[in-house]
Structure 1
C-alpha cells in the first residue's frame, strides 16, 4: 500500500525556511489538494511572493495572517510572481496588489490566456466548454454539471516574463524557467543564489500535475510533449532543493522529474496498446473511460471526468505527434485509432 507524507491543511503552519525564504500554507476550500504553499522571498525593497492562493476570505486570512506570524506584512509585499494562471495560484494576486501596490508578473503565454478570459462575455465561456465536451463524446448530464460553475478570472498582470528573465528582486537572483505543459505559460523559478527551485505545479513530490488539451480536439498543440521536454530541462538543473506549490518541500528535483517522465511514458505505452486492440476508433470520452485513474470512471464527478478527458486528449495528441495513432474526423466528434505497423 502506497504511503504519503501529505498532511491536511489543519496540520500546516507558516515556516521560516532560512536564507530569506518563508512558506505560508493557504487553503483551497472544497479541493482535495487542501492548500497552496505560497512562498515569500526577502529583498531590501520588501518581500516578493511566489504565487498567492485561491481568492476566498479564508485564504486571504491565512495568507495575511501567516505572513504576520513570520514577521512580514502583506502591505509591504512588492511583487507577486505567478507560476501559472490557475485560481489556486493567481486568485489572491489582485487583492495583494490592492493592499500593497505590488506588481503582478506571469509568463507572457499565460498572460495572453488571462486577457482572453477577461474578454469573454457572460455565458460565453460556459457555451465554449459545453461545445467542447459534446465534441469529445460526453453525455448531456456530464455537460450540464461540468459547466455549472467557474472560478473568478485572475487579475491581469502588470509584467510579463519570458524564459530566462530575472524577476525584479534586488539583491537576489530569481530566474524564470519556462516549463510549459500544465499550462502554456507555466514557469519554475530558480533562486540561483540559494540553489532552490520553486516548481509551482510542474514537479510535485507525490502526485503528477494535470496536463490536458482545451479544446480537447485541437491538433495544433502538444502540451504533454511540451511537459516531457520541460521535465528534461528541469532535470538538467541538477539536484536542487524543490519548493513546490503543493504537498511538501523535497530534495533532488532532477530525480523526481525523471520519475514523472517515466510515469507518462508508461501511460503512453498502455494507451497505445489499448487502441491497437480496438477494431473501431474511439472518441476522446470513450478513451478516457477506459484509462486508469485514481478511482473508477463511474465514481468520478462530471468535473473530474472533464479533466480526465482533457488528460486523455493530451496523451492521444502526443501519440498522434509521434506517428503511433491517427485521428478519424467525424460529423460531431473526432475519433482515434492505432496505425498498423
Structure 2
C-alpha cells in the first residue's frame, strides 16, 4: 500500500485541520477540523465518501495523536457530500454522534427516501422550464439508473440549534445559522481567545459560507415536493452581514486556507453580488430565459468550455439571481412566455 502523506495543519488552541481529498473536483480537498474537547476529539465536517478520502482522514487523525475510533462527535456545517460524506463511516467505527441544522437534516432524510429516477425527472422538468436545449436535457431522460453521489447520507442524531452553544465539554462553540449555500448551513463561532492573541472575537469555522478567494455557489434550494418560492441569494446576503458583525480574529473555512479580516471579505462578496445583479439587469433589457441568461453571464471560463454538470449548476445560480431581482422589483417574468422569460423593470 502506498504510504499516505496527510496534510495536517495545527492552528493552535487544540484545533487542527486535515486536507481530505475530493475526487475529480477542482476544489481539491475539504479541510476537516479536529477540535480537542474534554470528551474526546470532535470533527467539523468529514469529507467525501471515497476510499482515498477515508484513508487520508484516518491517517490524518493518527497524525493528530488520535484515531477514527476515538472521535467523540461530528458537527456538520452543511449536508453536501464533500462535507457530510464520511460522517456515517466515522460514526460506524467510533459511535460518535452527528449534529446538523434541522433544515439540512430534513434534506438528508428526503434524499435517502427519494429514488434517483424521481430526482432525474424533477431536474428534467426544471431544466425544460428554464429553457435548456434538448441536447442538455436528453441525457437526463436516459440516466434513471445512474448512481448519484451522496444519495445515502448518514441521518444526524443531534440538532444544531442556531444561537446556542454546542455541548462540547471544555469548549465554547456557538452555532450561527447562515443559510444561502444550503438552507441549513451553519458557521461555528469558537468563542475563545485566539491562541496567537490575534485581535478579534474568537475564531469562525465558516464551512462554505465564507471562503478566502472563492465565491460560494448560490443556487436554488431544490425540493421535488415543495413549490415554495425561496430566495437563497437574499438569505446568503443577510447571512454574510450577520457573520461580518462577529468580527472573528480568524476564519477557518472548509476549502483553500485560513484567513483573517472576515469583515473585508464580507464586503468584497456583498459588492460582488451587487455588481453581478446590476450586470444582469443590463442583459435583461431583452426577455431571456434563465438558460439564456446563464449563457450570457460572466463565469470563470467561456460558456462553451463549461462542462455539462457545471452548466446545470450555473443555470441554478442564474435563477437564484433572477429570484432576487424579482423580489427587489428590479425584474419581472414576461406574462404568457413559455419557457418563462424575464426582463428588467
Q: TM-score, normalised by structure 1?
A: 0.92
Structure 1 pair 221/310, CA: closer, same or farther in 2 (3 Å)?
same
Output the CA distance in 2 between the equivalents of 1:76 and 1:219.
42
Match of 1:43 in 2: 37
Q: 1:177 maps to which residue?
A: 176
Q: Which runs of 5+ in 1 are unaligned?
A: 1-9
C-alpha displacement at 1:239, in angstroms? Answer: 4.2
Cα distance in 1 for residues equivalent to 2:137 and 2:334: 23
Partner of residue 336 from structure 1, selected from 307, 331, 342: 342
- Please tell me the root mean square deviation across aligned C-alpha atoms, in Å: 1.9
- 3-state SS, counterpart of residue 188 of structure 1: strand
Which of 243, 251, 259 matches 2:268? 259
Structure 2 vs 1, CA of residues 89 and 329 (structure 1 numbering), >3 Å: closer, same or farther? farther
Tell me the distance in 2 between the aligned counterparts of 1:329 and 1:152: 38
The answer to whether the 8 A contact 1:55-1:87 is kept is: yes
Matched, 1:237 2:246: yes
Equivalent residues of 1:26, 1:38 under 8 A apart: yes
Aligned counterparts of 2:133 and 2:147: Cα–Cα separation in 1: 18
**2:209 is the counterpart of 1:202:** yes
Pairing of 1:1-341 with structure 2 (within 5 A) = 13-145=7-139, 150-153=148-151, 154-194=153-193, 195-215=202-222, 220-276=229-285, 278=286, 281-330=287-336, 332-339=338-345
Q: Secondary structure at 2:166's aligned position in 1?
A: coil
CA distance in 2, matches of 1:332, 1:294: 30
Q: Is the 8 A contact 1:214 1:310 kept in 2?
A: no
Kindly tell me: are residues 218 and 308 of structure 1, through their superposed partners in 2, closer, same or farther at Cα, counting changes over 3 Å?
Answer: farther
Residue 294 of structure 1: how far off its partner (Å): 0.3
Asked whether the equivalents of residues 197 and 242 of structure 1 are also in contact (C-alpha less than 8 Å), the reply is yes
What is the Cα deviation at residue 330 of structure 1?
4.7
The alpha-carbon deviation at position 41 of structure 1 amounts to: 0.5
Distance in 1, matches of 2:23 and 2:138, equals 22
Contact 1:163/1:177, CA 8 A, preserved across alignment: yes
Instruction: Tell me how far apart the structure 2 counterparts of residues 256 and 218 of structure 1 sit (CA, whole Å).
Output: 34
Distance 1:162 1:263, change over 3 A: same
1:40 aligned counterpart, secondary structure: strand
Per-residue CA distance 1:150-176 (angstroms, 9 max, x = gap): 212221110111211221210101111
State the secondary structure of the residue aligned to 2:284: helix
Aligned residues: 327
How far apart are the structure 1 equivalents of 2:111 and 2:248?
37
Using the size of structure 2 for normalisation, the TM-score is 0.91
Relative distance call for 1:17 and 1:295 in structure 2 (3 A) is same
User: Do the aligned partners of 2:221 and 2:232 also contact (CA within 8 Å) in 1?
Assistant: no
Counterpart of 2:24 in 1: which secondary structure? coil
Cα distance in structure 1, aligned partners of 2:52 and 2:283: 45
- SS at 1:282's partner residue? coil
Q: Is the 8 A contact 1:145 1:303 kept in 2?
A: no
Q: Write the distance in 2 (CA, Å) between the matches of 1:60 and 1:78.
A: 17
Partner secondary structure for residue 288 of structure 1: helix
Q: Distance in 1 between matches of 2:292 and 2:16?
A: 45
Distance 2:178 2:231 in 1: 13
Deviation of 1:240 (Å) = 2.5
Question: Is contact 2:19–2:30 with CA below 8 Å preserved after alignment?
Answer: yes
What are the superposed Cα offsets for residues 105-127 of structure 1, whole Å, 9 maximum, x if unpaired?
11111111111111112411121
CA contact (8 A) 2:116 2:148 kept: no
